[in-house]
Amino acid sequence: MNNPVISGAGYILVHVPNIMMEAGTTQLLEKDNAKSDYYQKAFEHIRDFESALAYAPNQVYIGNITPDELNNVERPWYENLLKDPKRFGPFGEILPEDEFFGLMASSDSFDLVVLEEGFSKEIKDKLSNHPLMTEEELGRIKTGAKIQTIEELVYEHDAIPLRYNNQIVGCVKKAHDRDENLNAHTMLENTATKASAYLALKHMIKNAQIAAQDIDYIIECSEEACGDMNQRGGGNFAKAIGELANCSNATGADIRGFCAAPAHAIVNAAALVSAGIFKKVAVVAGGAVAKLGMNGRDHVHKGLPLLEDMLGGFALLIGENDGKNPVIRTETIGRHTIGTGSSPQAVIQSIVYDPLDKLGYKAEDIDKFAPELQNPEITESAGAGNVPEANYKMIAALAVRRGEIERADMTSFVEEHGMPGFAPTQGHIPSGVPYVGFARDAILQGKMKKVMIIGKGSLFLGRMTNQFDGISFIMEKNPGITQKAAKPAEDVSKYLAEAFREFADYLKTRGESDGSQ
């Protein structure tokens, strides 16, 4: 069986403290809460770009250090910043907010993003030095408007301000006077998702060394959803993002599944490639503005910086077996079914051990498990504990119950087969996918053979079901293309001639032919 492969990856972060304060859900709720002084205090806890850049988990996300190397950085990581951090990494980059405003303007198809004329020129000049920006993309950034026009849009027409260095430098307008699904806040959320996914896709295309036109299909799997009052989440981010990246031969659609959506999207992409429907499928996702500063109350209360000031994005390329890149074992997909139940043991059995059992593998055969990889410095202070560690302990505990490891070996199992969390709490971003790039590199380099990517989701948040969700797949070293090559035409002709002669001899022995034919 020729399984599809993962042949490219791109990861980006965008530092957006001003968008966080203007549009993050927690901040919006607290801003209008007369009994809370959080919103005023929060400004004192905002990080500058240099601090966000030097924050070790962020450097892991773009591939400059590995998750295992993160274990060697003393905690708290926000106090032990890395020396000489890099903006660009093997997987992508960390983009500053002012340049992101320019990228949003370049991504805007309906003149909803308005930049101040001086800022527009400044940021266009700045982005002209970006290694991935083209003249066409720079040309989409409009000349800009006078600050008086922007202030009028903000204060009289419900536009959302874009601030930088304590000044309004632009705004995002509403797209309809009465449709709340096209209001300015939603347009800001959707444009930020589109722009961040677009940047991740561009990095993936570069890293995979392909042309944008080689991509046949795009699956978008972020936590946002675009649409108007008649269809709300029925819109299509995938084609909008592909249009920006010049993927002119691609079509596509969106997949939604809360935190597990990326894993669902990868499995769907693998199926499309395996079926021969498409040869190269890009799985992409941009950031979720609503999740910015989500645990801000706890961070401010405990004296931490506002660590949830990063939008996250990623893009992966799923393609036909090339005999080289790691394969996705499509014949064994872990899945939390409707009848599975929600107990931790039932969840881990269904998405971790059932697919392993199908292949005859044990837990120790998997070099690394990549479940929910949330940064523990974000979640611990909010009372949610160390989420990745809790997942690894559950996997190890079930391995003990199954007799695969000894109880005394649980700690060493977690250390060997797990990793520290490093992903921003962007909902869909942490569940497994941040490690795919590392897993691909390690397998290609011969450092690993098997990695399990685990997506988990909380469907009950939508108030339509109390169910949990989970889906997983195994990345494995490519065994090579197993399909036998066809014989050359001359060999086939020779073979057929010999077969006919043998058959004629056989008939002759039975007296059914005189051998003349």
Of the pLDDT bands very low, low, confident and very high (cuts 50, 70, 90), residue 61 is very high
In the predicted model, is pLDDT for residue 511 greater than 90?
no
Top-ranked range on mean pLDDT: pick from 40-44, 488-492, 498-502: 40-44
Domain boundaries, the chain: 5-476, 489-517
pLDDT tens digits, one per residue of 145-196: 999 999 999 999 999 999 999 999 999 999 999 999 999 999 999 999 999 9
Q: How far apart are CA 97 and CA 223, in angstroms?
A: 21
Per-residue pLDDT at 234: 87
Token pair recorded at residue 514: 């005189």
Per-residue pLDDT at 507: 54
Per-residue pLDDT at 517: 40
Of the pLDDT bands very low, low, confident and very high (cuts 50, 70, 90), residue 493 is low
Q: Which residues contact 59 (CB under 8 A, 6 or more apart)?
A: 53, 65, 82, 85, 86, 89
pTM, entire model? 0.92
Sign of CA dihedral 423, 429, 431, 435: negative
Token pair recorded at residue 259: 């935190």
Per-residue pLDDT at 503: 54
Of the pLDDT bands very low, low, confident and very high (cuts 50, 70, 90), residue 516 is very low
Q: Are 469 and 400 in contact (CB under 8 A)?
A: no
The structural architecture, per CATH, of the domain 5-476 is 3-Layer(aba) Sandwich (3.40)
Token pair recorded at residue 328: 């996705």
Q: What angle do CA 381, 47, 387 make, to 5 degrees?
A: 30
Beta strands 327-328 and 469-476, pairing class: antiparallel
Average pLDDT value for the chain: 93
Average pLDDT over residues 42-69: 98
Per-residue pLDDT at 138: 97
Token pair recorded at residue 312: 């996250």
Token pair recorded at residue 498: 């010999």
In the predicted model, is pLDDT for residue 366 greater than 90?
yes
In the block, which residue shows the tokens 């320019």? 102
Type of residue numbered 58? N
Can you tell me whether residue 30 is helix, strand or coil?
helix
Q: Are 438 and 59 in contact (CB under 8 A)?
A: no
In the predicted model, is pLDDT for residue 494 greater than 80?
no
pLDDT tens digits, one per residue of 230-255: 998 888 999 999 999 999 999 999 99
Q: What count of other Cβ atoms lies within 10 Å of the Cβ of residue 128?
A: 11
Of 350, 278, 290, 347, the residue nearest 318 (C-alpha):
278
In the predicted model, is pLDDT for residue 72 greater than 90?
yes
Of 302, 311, 455, the residue nearest 380 (C-alpha):
302
Give the DSSP H or E segment for 194. helix 184-208
Per-residue pLDDT at 498: 63
Cis peptide before 76 (omega within 30 of 0): yes
Q: Are 457 and 257 in contact (CB under 8 A)?
A: yes
